Structure 1
Amino acid sequence: MPDLLETVIENRWMVQPNHANNLDTAHGGNVMKWMDEAGAMSAMHFTGETCVTAHMDEVNFKQPIPVGDIALVKSYVYRAGEHSVRVRTRVFRENPGKTETELTTESYMIFVAIDEDRNTTSVPELTVGSERGERLREEALSDAP
């Protein structure tokens, strides 16, 4: 059974002008794409199967990410069903050369595992074998809609 910490994904993108809107900040569509990709990778690490997006809760944009800054996308599986997994996805803004981050965007997503014939397939049970994993799981469960 996969452990929650095995599903943690952290990806970074340098926000370039081609990622930007007319205000020279990351376009919301690009941020959502990055979230969807990271969430799917977490789901696939967990299930060992191809996973498709079934649901994305409201996406809350709290702060913009200016061109030249880094978008840090973090995701992990916090709950498993019979054929689906729930993933928490958060985006942070990083200024290159500095260590502090600022939360910019977050959402909760559901991915469905599918087999080679594109039929739903069952997923394993989620295990949590560390204090850090338990803390992440509890944070997601307490904040989830």
Structure 2
Amino acid sequence: MPDLLDTYLENRSRIQPNHTNNYGMAHGGNVMKWMDEVGAMSAMRFAGQTCVTASIEGMDFEKPVPQGDTVLIQSYVYAAGRTSVRVRLQAYREHPRTGETERTTESYFVFVAIDEDRSPVPVPDLAVTTEKGRRLREEAIEGEKKH
């Protein structure tokens, strides 16, 4: 039974000119793509199967990320159904030299585990065995209620 902390991933992307809109800020579609990719990795680590995006439950773009800064994506599984995996995703603007961060985007994705024939397959139960894991799960559930 995979533990929530086993699914916790972080990934960074430096915002280059080809990632920006005409205001010099990260294009929202790029941020969404990076969140989807990291979320799928968390889901697959949990399920032990290929996982595909089933739905995105709200995507709140709170602040922009300017060219030259880094987008930090944090992702973890906080709940599971029979074949579905719920993942909380947050993006942060990160200053590349200081590491200072500010949350810019939050979302909740649902992935479905599939087999080679692209048919849904069962996923395991989620274990939450640490205080940090319990705190992350509670934060995700509370945040999801607001969407």
TM-score interval w.r.t. the shorter chain? Answer: over 0.9
Q: Give a deviation string over 1:78-107, Cα, whole Å, max 9, x none.
A: 001000010000000011111321000010
Alignment pair present for 1:142 and 2:142: yes
Paired residues, what number?
145
The secondary structure found in structure 1 opposite 2:138 is helix
The secondary structure found in structure 2 opposite 1:58 is strand
1:96 corresponds in structure 2 to: 96
2:109 corresponds in structure 1 to: 109
Task: Give the whole-Å Cα distance in 2 for the aligned partners of 1:142 and 1:59.
Answer: 16
2:29 corresponds in structure 1 to: 29
Letter in 1 for 2:128: V
1:42 corresponds in structure 2 to: 42
1:10 corresponds in structure 2 to: 10
2:78 corresponds in structure 1 to: 78
Task: Give the whole-Å Cα distance in 2 for the aligned partners of 1:70 and 1:99.
Answer: 9
TM-score of the two chains, using structure 2 as the length reference = 0.97
TM-score of the two chains, using structure 1 as the length reference = 0.98
Q: Indicate the larger mover: 133-142 or 93-102.
A: 93-102
Q: Which runs of 5+ in 1 are unaligned?
A: none
Q: CA deviation at 1:57?
A: 1.2
Task: Give the whole-Å Cα distance in 1 for the aligned partners of 2:36 and 2:102.
Answer: 20
RMSD: 0.6
Q: CA deviation at 1:70?
A: 0.3
2:133 corresponds in structure 1 to: 133
Task: Give the whole-Å Cα distance in 1 for the aligned partners of 2:142 and 2:64.
Answer: 25
Task: Give the whole-Å Cα distance in 1 for the aligned partners of 2:93 and 2:102.
Answer: 5
Q: Percent identity?
A: 61
